[in-house]
Structure 1
Amino acid sequence: MSGKIVFFEGRNFQGRSYECISDCSEIASHLGRCSSCRVESGTFMVYDQPNYTGQQYLLTRGEYPEYQNTIGFNDCIQSCRIIPAHKGPFKMRIYERANFEGQMQEVSDDCDSIQDHYHMSDMQSCNVMEGYWLMFEQPNYEGRMFYLKPGKYKNLREMSSDDMRFNSIRRITES
């Protein structure tokens, strides 16, 4: 895993800065506020709450001088997690109901509409076997997103505070 993100207190890379090369559960312990950032290498998931919670957004190499407008956060970035580069195959099983019940589909590629491609009325649990994925609340990779690393997720509705449904999924292929 290699990556580097630099956070700045002010917009347009102004004020004090904090360089981060790994996960950071609470940026506020390093900066009073984080209003802009620059991803120098790697891929990061950023969160609008401490401890990797709240709204999240994937940032790739580039500059984010006023990310509140760009990524839709109402407040500043509070925590971040580096996304490991994955070079092998991608594989996940998605289930129509919680606890791995109901219709099951095995997925190894991006899917812009779970309902259209797999004829599933809902997706409430999954088992990520290989790779790192993003799930989106709307078709065509739009709306709020959630990061999934390898593991079993027996109730996806518990991941959001408002019983959000997931309608599209995409592999994280950028490193």
Structure 2
Amino acid sequence: MSDCSDMTSFLSKCASCRVESGCFMVYDHPNYMGIQYFLRRGEYSDYNTLGMSDSIRSCRLIPQIIFYEDKNFQGRSYETSSDCPELTSYLSRCNSCRVESGCFMVYERPNFMGHQMLARRGEYPDNQRLMGMTMSDCIRSCRMIPTHRGPFRMKIYEKENYGGQMNEVNEDCDSIQERYRMSDCQSANVMDGHWLMYEQPHFRGRMLYLRPGEYRSMRDMGMGPMDMRIGSIRRIMDSC
């Protein structure tokens, strides 16, 4: 289950629950109103012990990622449900992580720059296997990827500053060279949805996360001075 604005559509009342995976905020009124409580994985046999009324009437899935100083989830930890531009404000280093729910983009440099990788729900005991990094095995920033259920729309441009050939994209594209006859993509304008851009066709190689906004160059996309060509584009769907 993800978000549910009125559980009485499915149950006459809800007096206990079991969170098998992820994290949820539950409410004692429909439409995410009233007393609320944060539930992690576990069993909740009686809501009165949480200080709530005897029934839950709506719930929301809360993205949650936990970072650890050392490999294999050892050392100090830091958890967040939102963007974090500088993880060293909380941990001296980060060498493993666990995504409890949702999707996050993790970066090897502060301020969402450098090599980046999509982290879905699951355990990542060694960042080198997650990130595929060679120069550094440390995560230094992260972005939460919100759920998007509306249309997807972006414009891609062959050159920086919206120059050269332009094409509008509404769905996954496994090869921009074959579909649009574009030699490269150096800038973009994302109107709707959240996207991943890949270095190679068929969604392979290094990736870039783009949320709604204007990107005049590869640096704006988060790669700094690194030289990267775009070969394919994929929407980030609810399956995260």
Number of equivalent positions: 175
Which of residues 44, 62, 78 is equivalent to 1:2?
62
- Following TM superposition, by how much is the alpha carbon of 1:163 offset from its aligned partner in structure 2, in angstroms? 2.8
Question: What is the CA–CA distance in structure 2 between the aligned matches of 1:88 and 1:150, rounded to whole Å?
Answer: 13
Unaligned runs of at least 5 residues, structure 1: none
SS of residue paired to 2:151? coil
Are residues 1:35 and 2:95 paired?
yes
Structure 1 window deviating more from structure 2 (101-110 vs 47-56): it is: 101-110
Are residues 1:62 and 2:126 paired?
no
Are residues 1:98 and 2:178 paired?
no
Alignment-derived partner of residue 50 in structure 1: 110
Alpha-carbon contact 2:117-2:130 (below 8 Å) kept: no
Q: Which amino acid aligns with 1:111?
A: C
Alpha-carbon contact 1:137-1:168 (below 8 Å) kept: yes
- Following TM superposition, by how much is the alpha carbon of 1:116 offset from its aligned partner in structure 2, in angstroms? 0.9
Are residues 1:72 and 2:136 paired?
no
Question: What is the CA–CA distance in structure 1 between the aligned matches of 2:213 and 2:130, rounded to whole Å?
Answer: 30
Are residues 1:111 and 2:173 paired?
yes
Alignment-derived partner of residue 228 in structure 2: 164
- Following TM superposition, by how much is the alpha carbon of 1:152 offset from its aligned partner in structure 2, in angstroms? 1.8
Unaligned runs of at least 5 residues, structure 2: 1-60
Residues 67-106 of structure 1 deviation map (CA, whole Å, 9 limit, x = unaligned): 2123212321111110111011101111222222322211
TM-score (norm 1): 0.92
Larger Rg: 2
Percent of aligned pairs with the same amino acid: 59
Alignment-derived partner of residue 71 in structure 2: 11
Root-mean-square deviation (CA, aligned residues, Å) is: 1.7
Question: What is the CA–CA distance in structure 2 between the aligned matches of 1:171 and 1:66, rounded to whole Å?
Answer: 26
Alpha-carbon contact 1:17-1:31 (below 8 Å) kept: yes
- Following TM superposition, by how much is the alpha carbon of 1:27 offset from its aligned partner in structure 2, in angstroms? 1.1
- Whose relative contact order is higher, 1 or 2, with alpha carbons under 8 Å and at least 6 apart? 1
Q: Which amino acid aligns with 1:60?
A: R
Q: Which amino acid aligns with 2:233?
A: I
TM-score (norm 2): 0.68
Question: What is the CA–CA distance in structure 1 between the aligned matches of 2:233 and 2:148, rounded to whole Å?
Answer: 16
